Amino acid sequence: MAISAPSHRVSEKNLAVPSNRFPWIMLFGRMGLFLGIQAVFALVFYLAGVQDAWDKSAAWWPMVVTLANLICVAGMIRFFRAEGNSYWGLFRIQRESIKSDLLALVASFVVIGPAGYFPNVILAGWLFGNSQTVMDLFMRPLPFWAVYAALVLFPVTQGMAELPTYFGYVMPRLQSQGLPRWLAVGLPALMLGLQHLAVPLVLDIRFIAWRGLMFIPFALVTGIILNWRPRLMPYMAFIHILMDLSLAMMLLSVGY
């Protein structure tokens, strides 16, 4: 079973040297970026005399994620280059296998769809009693200029950064370092799910549990599929953009 698409397959030597630490930086660093950037927003609000500065900063999660995504993309470009490879190769479509890849993509969404939807709804009902309460904590008012910026920047940078970070960069390199396949898939999937507890970090244990757990089944299924057929990455990334665009459009209802 291949662990990377032919367009960006690299040798075991290149995966291991000089970047043994880089996959681990990317594995845990993304959540750290979310927390750190939100803290910067909170500090700015605090210095401006805004009460409840941390709570105010939570509304700006689309901009926090966008900035973190840009940093992640810059990091991957650098780390791929250190191996003599290209980050952009992750998005190269294999023309000779388009039909079979599209069939595999459609089949995979029989599992990915329910894994992405039902944990969200079930956890919201269990922790909050209804979905509206948790959405009020999540979707907070933003000025319309920030909403319009988020409509473009948030989904596009998510497609470029999230799945590529965990499953295009980290996963195959953990496996090349000798981790068992189940762990090389499971660790990135776990961190992809858990990172959401910091998007945004709201100081409510129920909200933290909802955000931290809701995407773990989706992440695990996605990781298994991309480990099985990594050349699905460009298609998955595009679909991810569309999914996050629909999420960003919900901000229009709370803009001011």
Whether 14 shows a pLDDT value over 90: the answer reads no
Determine the structural domain holding residue 51 and report its residue range: 17-87+96-254
pLDDT at 220 over 70: yes
Residue 12 lies in a domain: no
pLDDT one-digit tens code per residue, 126-142: 999 988 899 999 999 99
* Residue-wise pLDDT tens digits, 93-130: 999 999 999 999 999 999 999 999 999 999 999 999 98
170-211 pLDDT, tens digit each: 999 999 999 999 999 999 999 999 999 999 999 999 999 999
Convert the pLDDT of each residue in 15-39 to its tens digit.
444 468 999 999 999 999 999 999 9
Per-residue DSSP letters for the chain?
--SS-GGG---HHHHHTTTSSHHHHHHHHHHHHHHHHHHHHHHHHHHTT-SSHHHHHHTTHHHHHHHHHHHHHHHHHHHHHHTT--GGGGG---GGGHHHHHHHHHHHHHHHHHHHHHHHHHHHHHHHSSHHHHHHHHS--B-HHHHHHHHHHHHHHHHHHHHIIIIIIIHHHHHHTT--HHHHHHHHHHHHHHGGGGTT--S-HHHHHHHHHTTHHHHHHHHHHHHH-GGGHHHHHHHHHHHHHHHHHGGGGGB-
- State if pTM tops 0.85: yes
Cα distances (Å, whole numbers) of residue 101 to 109, 111, 144:
13, 16, 39
Residue 8 lies in a domain: no
- 149 domain residue, yes or no: yes
**In the structure encoding, which two tokens stand for residue 15, read together?**
């995966």
Classify residue 180: in a domain, yes or no. yes
Residue 31 lies in a domain: yes
User: Does residue 234 form part of some domain?
Assistant: yes
Domain total for the chain? 1
The residue-averaged pLDDT of 225-247 equals: 97
Whether 145 is in a domain gets the answer: yes
Residue 3 lies in a domain: no
What was the pLDDT predicted at 129? 92
Percent of the chain with pLDDT over 90: 91
Q: What is the pLDDT of residue 112?
A: 95
**pLDDT confidence of 8, banded at 50, 70, 90?**
very low
What tokens were used for 44? 């700015």
